[in-house]
Amino acid sequence: MVGKVVGAAVSAVLLGGGVLALSPSAPAVVDVPVDGADTPPGAGAAKGAGADTATGAGVVPKTGTGAAAGTDTKAGGARCSSRRPIVIAHRGASAFRPEHTLAAYRLAVRMGADYIETDLVSTKDHVLVARHENELSKTTDVAGHPEFAGRRTTRRINGHLRTGWFTEDFTLDELRTLRARERFPKRRPHSKVYDGQASIPTLEEIVRLARRHGVGLYPEIKYSTYFASIGLPIEGPLLATLARHGWKDRDDPVFIQSFETWNLRELRPVTRLRLTQLIGARGAPYDLVAAGDRRTYRDLVTPSGLKEIATYADAVGVITSRIVPTGPDGRLGVPTSLVRDAHARGLQVHAATVRNENAGLPADYRRGDPARPAYRRAAGDVAGWLRRLYTFGVDGVFANDPVVARAVRDRVCAGG
């Protein structure tokens, strides 16, 4: 039943001619001017070559030694055997700028990212914008706008009650009056200094930025079942925008990702662009839950589950603990066979998410004194952790710090 909703949102793609036709329910394209191409303070001089020394980016620490940082190719095969793993800037260079802002994306480009990741939600007037969730209070100053106080409400999103301000209650013009802010101000005080400087970007702006700088795009369809249920499906406008900018074929630098399954299945017959099935750390895809299907993400990463995913997707995006679990002490255990199993079925494996801070790293790669108040937000041995992931044979990593992810990737692929 939910599949019919996407079928109405994305009517047809004539694959031979690359012509996208949207149903009458799809909105007209809103052409939004791109914000000025400002240069973020301290950004490197060129894509892939500059180090943002003002924020500490580009300083690649020595990788760890011993078993935790050793080369282990048994779980995933030979390193860089056929192609270099891609570096995906997670929400932009989100270790150094407020996430999902043009400033974060531009800095990611300068740091050498191959792809920039953007999470997509819809406005009231059906314009796709970049936010990790449709609730706005964690990443914007909406709570400080008295004119929008009456729009605070409670919604059930993917089975969970959420209270706040939601993108689908705002037009694009209204969202433009808000300013982005750092999600984790205590963890990333150096990013918080950029609060209030950036607006919420549209997909149109982000695609133009990516095309202008020659990088790929890795958009995530957020809350697909929910947005389709309120008449604001994301899939149709997404394909239309990408096609308008010439991105419609398998060889184009685009991966479309989703934690749900039905929308990717519906997209497969109507686009040649590559699709990524995201795999959560726990639970199940919401579309399966809503349909009464008892399969979980754990079922999806079994050999039979991966075989089914391969019928509609080109890659799986998996949390790192699916590749190598951690024990109760936070230290790495024995790698799983996931990378090998996925590769056997023709699927790429993209690992998420590599963070700089101790709080986001396995205990093997945390550095400093755990008793110190700043320990959780202090930088750990992220280079060592990246090296370990690459030697497992992953085909890409989602990283908050693209310059380190790229430098370590290049070193590993060169045999260093």
Give the three-state DSSP class for 413.
helix
Contact 47/362 with Cβ under 8 angstroms? no
**Whole-angstrom distance, CA of residue 201 vs CA of residue 194:** 15
Q: Is the dihedral of CA 388, 90, 264, 249 positive or negative?
A: negative
**Whole-angstrom distance, CA of residue 280 vs CA of residue 295:** 13
Q: Kindly write down the DSSP assignment for every residue of 321-349, as one continuous string.
A: HHHS-B-TTS-B----SHHHHHHHTT-EE
Check residue 203 and report its DSSP letter: H
**Whole-angstrom distance, CA of residue 298 vs CA of residue 184:** 29
**Whole-angstrom distance, CA of residue 343 vs CA of residue 394:** 9
Between helix 402-413 and helix 382-391 the angle, nearest 10°, is 50
Contact 241/203 with Cβ under 8 angstroms? yes
Phi, psi of 268 (to 5 degrees): -55, -45
**Whole-angstrom distance, CA of residue 109 vs CA of residue 117:** 11
Q: 132 an active-site residue? A: yes
20: part of which helix (H) or strand (E)?
strand 19-22
Smallest CA-to-CA distance from 137 within 106, 170, 107, 95 is with: 170
Q: 90 an active-site residue? A: yes
- Identify the active-site residue in 100, 132, 145, 213: 132
The token pair at 37 is 């191409």
Contact 76/392 with Cβ under 8 angstroms? yes
Question: What is the tally of helices (H) and strands (E) in the chain?
Answer: 15, 13
> Measuring CA to CA, how many Å separate 224 from each of 3, 50, 285, 329?
11, 37, 11, 36
The token pair at 390 is 């690459």
**Catalytic (active-site) positions:** 90, 132
